[in-house]
């Protein structure tokens, strides 16, 4: 159950006419007020109060005026005088006595007052009987200062209203906390103290004027009093007569002087008491508001600290979750890439093994054929030797026949040899033409396949790059630290630009020397017969250093640069010529070769293995200056 205080302005007249009671349509905000408290006080809700005053928040300030109830109702004229009266600001005993047609001394007697000093809020007992002057009839209507009366109305509220009130109170407390930080408690206390002093001074002036008015009215009333004639008594001295008029004037003058002195004394005491009370209230109010401001500021600081800690914890949790998600995605991508690379490697190794097996079978078959041919030639030579010996043995017996036979055989042999030479020459020319045509067709096919593979690889790389950039952009948009990433990226790009500039400067003056801390060649761990294995062996035989863990040939340029080797695009004798994957006739693993000679026209001669052949297949070729410029060179 809550109590709602409704302010009612009452205009009272001595004649007792009907008065209209008007609910106050304005409320002046005092220090410590809240929207919730004001809403309870005037019997409305916080939402209606905010709507009536067009408030966008629950924040209010002392001194502002709010519009509240606007309803008017007709109050009945008072029938009888109430038994008690509560002292309001500006009241005096004389005013209260006039209001209830009582002498102020009678009010003092009814309430056991030793002086006419009264205080705001004090409850006085008022007799129900009206006191009228025996000699003076007063028929006048006087308007006195409006007296603020308060009546308490019991209002039942439901549990829902309590909950709403609690929520509104919490919102108002939060608003007042923010306002308390903005307004300094000292300035508020000084302003309220000044206002209290001003009100006290105005109150004292009003009460002094009122006291003077009452004294003047009492003096005027005393002059109009009709004095009853005094019957003549037996004089003590017959010779002395007393003037009735002179005695009445003297009594009236003495009463007027006493009344004026009493009024001045009462007014002075009342003004002093009210000034002291106002100063005490102002001091207590200032101290209370200062303590409240300090409490609100402490609560605000604690709330802000708790909120900051909560936000920090949520931010840390979000960043941790994001990092875990990115790590999981990265791990999944790396796992998928590793599995794909492993599958490609297994397929390549299988194909290479099959090719090596086929080449091995072909080599063994050719070797068998060669052995068979040599055996046949040896047997033929042995048969010829036996035949010659036989012929020599028979020569004595048939020299003529032998000579003729020999001549015939020589002629036949020459003819056969000439025919054989012509046939071999024609066959050689035919084979050469077919070989040239096949090599040309193979070269054109390889070039077309290489171009198609390079296009497909370029498209795949572009698609992967676009997908990666899109995914990165989406992740970057979701990150709260986008600015920091941008700054780090800028720093990284700057560092990369500086590194590229240093590499470009180093490439402008290529040298065939190894770095200061050269990697020891050691054991050749590259696959036997591969292009990497051949270059490692070739450089080692010439006393030149080569890295032993650079991986596939497609990775050699970047690996060598990381190990401190000079890398450029100008050929030099003894340098390693490197072609990235799917460029310059190389496949997915790239290709490396050894520079044997640099010609005056810029063309170069290189030796290599596994270029157009299988493992261990060594060859040499000459590249034009423009073809050489498309490669990297490791010095």
Residue 316 bridge partners (DSSP): none
What span, in angstroms and rounded, lies between the C-alpha atoms of 313 and 309?
A: 6
pLDDT (mean) for 170-183: 73
Q: Is the pLDDT of residue 131 over 70?
A: no
Most confident of 360-374, 398-412, 560-574: 560-574
- How confident is the model over 382-403, as a mean pLDDT? 85
pLDDT at 184 over 90: no
Q: Summarize the confidence of residues 221-248 as an average pLDDT.
A: 55
Say yes or no to pLDDT of 1 above 70.
no
Q: What is the pLDDT of residue 502?
A: 64
Q: Which of 285, 269, 345, 62 is nearest to 176 (CA)?
A: 62
pLDDT higher at 228 or 217: 217
Is the pLDDT score of 231 beyond 70? no
Percent of the residues in the chain that have a pLDDT greater than 70, as a whole number:
77
C-alpha distances in angstroms, 132 versus 10, 30, 97, 223, 331?
A: 23, 42, 11, 17, 106
CATH of domain 22-72: 3.10.350.10
Residue with more model confidence, 344 or 8: 344
Tokens of residue 501, six digits: 């500039």
Contact 590, 532 (CB under 8 A): no
Please give the average per-residue pLDDT across 299-322, as a whole number: 87
Which part of the chain is CATH 3.10.350.10? 22-72, 80-126
Range scoring the smallest mean pLDDT among 130-134, 261-265, 380-384, 407-411? 130-134
Reference 44, options 67, 15, 72, 12; nearest CA is 67
Name the E strands within 519-614.
Answer: 567-568, 576-579, 591-598, 604-609
149 DSSP β-pair partners: 8
CB 86 within 8 A of CB 121: yes
Structure tokens at 35: 């929207």
The residue-averaged pLDDT of 53-67 equals 88
- Residue position matching structure tokens 């490669």: 631
CATH architecture entry for 531-634: Alpha-Beta Complex (3.90)
Q: Write down the pLDDT at residue 560.
A: 96
Mean pLDDT of 257-262: 88
CATH 3.10.350.10 fits 80-126, yes or no: yes
From-to residues of CATH 3.90.1720.10 in the chain: 531-634
With a cut of 60, say whether residue 515 has pLDDT above it. Answer: no
**What is the structure's pLDDT at 4?**
37
Report the 3 state secondary structure along 424-449. HHHHHHHHHHHHHHHHHHHHHHHHHH
| Coil/strand/helix, residue 29 | coil
Write down the mean pLDDT value for the chain: 78
- In the prediction, which pLDDT does 236 show? 44
0.75 cut: is pTM over it?
no
Q: Place 489 in a pLDDT band, splitting at 50, 70 and 90.
A: confident
Q: Look at residue 506 in the predicted model and tell me its pLDDT.
A: 52
58 versus 415: the higher-pLDDT residue is 415
**Quick one: pLDDT band at residue 542, thresholds 50, 70, 90?**
very high
d(CA 480, CA 323): 12
Give pLDDT tens digits for 560-617. 999 999 999 999 999 999 999 998 888 889 999 999 999 999 999 999 999 988 999 9
């Amino acid at each position: 159950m809550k109590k709602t205080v409704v302010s009612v302005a009452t205009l009272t007249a001595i004649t007792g006419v009907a008065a209209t009671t008007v609910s106050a349509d304005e409320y002046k905000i005092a220090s410590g007020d809240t929207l919730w408290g004001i809403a309870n006080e005037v019997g409305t809700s916080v939402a209606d109060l905010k709507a009536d005053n067009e408030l966008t928040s629950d924040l209010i300030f002392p001194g502002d005026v709010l519009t509240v109830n606007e309803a008017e109702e007709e109050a009945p004229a008072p029938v009888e005088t109430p038994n008690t009266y509560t002292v309001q600001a500006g009241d005096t005993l004389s005013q209260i006595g006039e209001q209830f047609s009582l002498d102020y001394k009678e009010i003092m007697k009814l309430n056991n007052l030793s002086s006419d000093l009264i205080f705001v809020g004090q409850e006085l007992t008022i007799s129900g009987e009206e006191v009228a002057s025996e000699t003076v009839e007063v028929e006048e209507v006087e308007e006195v200062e409006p007296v603020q009366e308060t009546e308490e109305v019991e209002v039942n509220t439901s549990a829902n209203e309590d909950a709403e009130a609690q929520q509104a109170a919490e919102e108002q407390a939060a608003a007042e906390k923010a306002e308390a930080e903005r307004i300094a408690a000292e300035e508020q206390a000084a302003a309220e103290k000044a206002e209290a002093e001003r009100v006290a001074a105005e109150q004292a002036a009003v009460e002094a004027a009122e006291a003077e008015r009452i004294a003047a009215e009492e003096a005027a009333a005393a002059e109009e009093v009709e004095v009853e004639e005094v019957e003549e008594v037996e004089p003590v001295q017959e010779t002395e007569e007393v003037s009735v008029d002179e005695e009445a004037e003297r009594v009236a003058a003495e009463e007027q002087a006493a009344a004026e002195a009493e009024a001045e004394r009462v007014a002075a005491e009342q003004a002093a008491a009210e000034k002291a009370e106002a100063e005490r209230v102002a001091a207590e109010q200032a101290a209370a508001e200062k303590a409240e401001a300090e409490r609100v500021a402490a609560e605000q600081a604690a709330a802000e600290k708790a909120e900051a800690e909560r936000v920090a914890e949520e931010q840390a949790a979000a960043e941790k979750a994001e990092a875990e998600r990115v790590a999981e995605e990265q791990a999944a991508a790396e796992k998928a890439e590793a599995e794909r690379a492993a599958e490609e490697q297994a397929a390549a190794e299988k194909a290479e093994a099959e090719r090596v097996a086929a080449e091995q079978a072909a080599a063994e078959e050719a070797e068998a054929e060669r052995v068979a041919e040599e055996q046949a030639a040896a047997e033929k030579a042995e048969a010829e030797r036996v035949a010659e010996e036989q012929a020599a043995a028979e020569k004595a017996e048939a020299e003529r026949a032998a000579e003729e036979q020999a001549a015939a055989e020589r002629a036949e042999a020459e003819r056969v040899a000439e025919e054989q030479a012509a046939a071999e020459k024609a066959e050689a020319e035919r084979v050469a033409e077919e070989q040239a045509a096949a090599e040309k067709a193979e070269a054109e096919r390889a070039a077309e396949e290489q171009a198609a593979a390079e296009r497909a690889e370029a498209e795949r790389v572009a698609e992967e790059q676009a997908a990666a950039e899109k995914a990165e952009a989406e992740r970057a948009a979701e990150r709260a630290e986008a600015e920091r990433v941008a700054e780090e990226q800028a720093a990284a790009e700057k560092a990369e630009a500086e590194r590229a500039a240093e590499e470009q400067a180093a490439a402008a003056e290529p040298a065939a020397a190894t770095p200061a801390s050269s990697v020891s060649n050691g054991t050749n761990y590259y696959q036997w017969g591969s292009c990497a294995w051949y270059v490692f062996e070739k450089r080692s035989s010439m006393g030149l250093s080569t890295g032993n863990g650079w991986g596939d040939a497609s990775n050699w340029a970047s690996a060598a640069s990381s190990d401190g080797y000079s890398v450029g695009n100008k050929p030099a004798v003894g340098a390693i010529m490197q072609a990235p994957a799917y460029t310059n006739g190389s496949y997915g693993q790239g290709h490396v070769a050894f520079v044997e000679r640099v010609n005056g026209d810029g063309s170069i001669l290189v030796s290599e293995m596994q270029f157009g052949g299988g493992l261990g297949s060594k060859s040499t070729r000459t590249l034009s200056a423009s073809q050489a410029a498309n490669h990297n060179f490791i010095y």
